[in-house]
Structure 1
Amino acid sequence: MKQDTIRRNLYKVLRKTGVPRERIVEDAALKEELLVDEIDLTCFLFLLETKFEVEIGNSELPKLESVGSTIEYLQKHCA
């Protein structure tokens, strides 16, 4: 999957979890800057797995600490 497609779909997922449009930048940390709490994270993961048709295990969660690291993860794991 192309990086632009991943970025666009990730943006849509973040918007659905309530992240304000102006806060979504590649170096933004999910918890600290985008203020994603545990409930938001659960919703984020569900939407991410659904949108990208990928399964994210609990051991993979620490790799998804920012928008940029999530894009990198999805590039490696999406067809």
Structure 2
Amino acid sequence: MKQERIRRNLYKVLRKTGVPRDLIIEDAALQEELLKDDLDLTCFLFFLETKFEVEIENSELAKLYSVGSTIEFLQKHCA
């Protein structure tokens, strides 16, 4: 999947979970800056797996620490 499409769809997922537009930047930390609690993170992961048709193992969650790292992860795991 192309990087621009991944970015666009990731942006949609973040917006769906209630993240304000102005906070969505590549360096933004998911847990500390965007998704404030465990419920937000759980919703984000559900929408991410659904939108990108990818399964994210618990061992891979640590790799998703920022918007940029999530884009990199999706580039490697999406066809």
Structure 1: gaps of 5 or more residues: none
Who is 1:76 aligned against? 76
Letter in structure 2 aligned against 1:70: T
List structure 1 segments (4+ residues) > 2 angstroms apart after TM superposition: none
Greater CA deviation, 11-20 or 29-38?
Answer: 29-38
Written as runs of structure 1 = structure 2, the 5 A alignment for 1:1-79 is 1-79=1-79
TM-score, length-normalised on structure 2?
0.97
TM-score, length-normalised on structure 1?
0.97
Letter in structure 1 aligned against 2:53: E
Which has a greater percent of helix? 2
Give aligned pairs, total.
Answer: 79
% identical aligned pairs: 82
How far did 1:39 drift?
A: 0.1
Structure 2: gaps of 5 or more residues: none
